[in-house]
Amino acid sequence: MLNKFLKLLACIIGVELIGSISGFFAGNIPAVYAQLNKPFLAPPGNIVGTIWIILYALIGLALFLVIDSKTAKNKTRSYFFFGIQLILNFIWSIIFFGGSHFWIASFISLFLLITIIFSIREFRGISNGAAICFIPYLIWIIYATYLSFGLAILN
């Protein structure tokens, strides 16, 4: 039981840490966001960080559920898509906020969206819970992709 809890904790803290490191390398995200011309339905900057904390916890929980699953199904593709989406997630804010490469970041967001869909498809065969954990993430990235392209167009 303790070993399971430690795995869960490692997955969640690991994903949260990756998100934090990305934010660190992206620079002063709130300052950059405040200066941008925003599209319709853009959120206030002060809630986005809280949303990401929750999403990173769900992403970490999904990873744990896949790792912990007793299914005999091959997990390799799930780990592959999970890794790709995490890399794309990591580089997006660095490229968008840190480098002001809005168009490049928008296409990264689109690829991230596609990778999340593939992750959910793979997770479903291993752990329905893992697939469900990715649904809020998918919804947010659909919205974030809209915002990313909107910000690219307006700035």
Give phi and psi for 27, each to the nearest 5: 90, -150
CA 113 – CA 71 distance, rounded (Å): 26
Percent of the chain with pLDDT over 90: 94
CA 155 – CA 147 distance, rounded (Å): 12
pLDDT at 73 over 80: no
Question: DSSP secondary-structure letter at 112?
Answer: H
Average pLDDT over the chain reads 96
CA 36 – CA 154 distance, rounded (Å): 8
Q: 2-154 maps to which CATH number? A: 1.20.1260.100
Question: DSSP secondary-structure letter at 39?
Answer: -
Q: Identify the sign of the CA torsion 77, 79, 80, 82.
A: positive
- How confident is the model over 116-127, as a mean pLDDT? 96
- How confident is the model over 11-19, as a mean pLDDT? 98
Q: pLDDT band at 72, cuts 50/70/90? A: low
CA 98 – CA 32 distance, rounded (Å): 9
What pLDDT score was predicted for residue 118? 97
Q: pLDDT band at 74, cuts 50/70/90? A: confident
The predicted-structure confidence for 32-41, as pLDDT tens digits, reads as follows 999 999 999 9
Rg of the Cα trace of the chain? 16
Percent of the chain with pLDDT over 70: 99
